[in-house]
Amino acid sequence: MTSPGVTSPGMKAEQINWRTLIAACAAVCVFSFSLGEMFPLLALNMESWGVSEAVIGINTAMAPIGILLAGLIIPRLSHMFGGRRVAMFMAGATGTIFLLYPTFPDLWAWFPLRLLQGVTVATLFALSEAWVLANAKGEIRGRVVGIYATCISATFGVGAAVVSWTGIEGYLPFMVGAAVLFLAILPISLVSDSADRAADEPHVSMLSFLPKAPMLLLAIVVHAIFDGGMLGFLAVYGVRFGMSESIAALTITALSLGNVFFQIPIGWVADRTSKRGTMVGCFITAVICLAMLPAAIDTIWIWPLALVSGAAGFGIYTVGLAELGDRFRGRDLIAGTAAFSTMWGFGALVGAAMCGVAMDLFGPHGFPASLIVVFVGYLLVLALITWYRKRRAVRPI
């Protein structure tokens, strides 16, 4: 028998609630599409106003700060009102925020709006992830999470591409994003009542969840540091070594394609072997790619290297989600996905700042070197703690 908050990994595929699983995946595709549209749309609007890159960066950082704050309220809101009601409200609220941007086209108004958007979007993602994990049972959980991660990456890219069709001026681009978010209420409404069955369980806060899986959560921080660093500085690194700006920007595309095409295979490997072992494999692969980056940056090998780097870096999150679903359920699972959102927000902030400082202090190669230090440091700590806990037969970390 499993204890409350812990699942058995041997559950069969026929127990999956496909209605909730498909509804949750459809909803998160909508969120990701709108988020992908919003990042370039806001940045390009601020640039057209003559706002400096530093201020644009600070404004962009408001969203991760909102994500950090959301982690403190998601479990409580879900416990009080039910996850489905909260998600429907947040989808409507996010759509309304989209319409407020062109209504108040002022830089300083966009700071609190960006903060609120971080809170609402983080809540939507955390609840959707909890539904996906709760309904992707043990034997196929890794593959289902891989499909989920692929959907996020693909629809994020589509959202960004829409800006080239709508342009950045007026209400049209914001109305497209808002309309898609309002449509998200439909799949959310199809989430079955059983998805909120944990409402009768004791409330579990995000802070109380942190000691239950510290190394798993730290892995998400490292993944987010990688995300923040690579997305912010890989193109800059390429320009420093002679790439044109347009070609350097394509390295981010190659990085993203690794997210799109390799998460399902990574999930399959995690299902057939071990999730912790697969995650360690992703860490080691990322370290090797980062170590090869200085030699490959001005050669044709940068393209496959960026592809594999993206697959390995995002694979950490995919496998981490699958392991979270293996180990927890109910209110623990909701608190866990909220903690994942918070750890990602924190790591993304740290990654961008850390890589920028490293390049200033140590030159361009400080960028990959700083990420290698973080990755190797995590692997060493994990190895030490795993060895210690195996000797004492302590539960997973």
Three-class DSSP labels, 139-203: HHHHHHHHHHHHHHHHHHHHHHHHHHHHCCCCCHHHHHHHHHHHHCHHHHHCCCHHHHHHHHCCC
Q: How far is CA 377 from CA 75, 284, 287, in A?
A: 31, 12, 11
pLDDT value of residue 290? 96
pLDDT value of residue 4? 41
Give the CATH number of domain 201-397.
Answer: 1.20.1250.20
Question: Do the first three CATH levels of 15-200 and 201-397 match, i.e. the same topology?
Answer: yes
Question: Residue 238: which residues within 8 A CB-CB, separation 6 or more?
Answer: 247, 248, 251, 297, 302
pLDDT value of residue 255? 85
* CA 134/CA 95 separation, integer angstroms: 27
Question: Could you tell me how many helices (H) and strands (E) the chain has, helices first?
Answer: 14, 0
- pTM, to two decimals: 0.79
**Is 344 a residue whose pLDDT tops 80?**
yes
**Is 9 a residue whose pLDDT tops 70?**
no
* CA 249/CA 237 separation, integer angstroms: 10
| Burial of 390: CB neighbours in 10 Å, binned 0-12, 13-18, 19+ | exposed
pLDDT value of residue 366? 92
Confidence of residue 201 (pLDDT cuts 50, 70, 90): low
323, containing H or E segment: helix 302-327
Domain ranges of the chain: 15-200, 201-397
Superfamily of 15-200 according to CATH: MFS general substrate transporter like domains (1.20.1250.20)
Exposure letters 182-200 (e unless 16+ CB within 10 A, then b):
bebbebbeebbeebbebbe
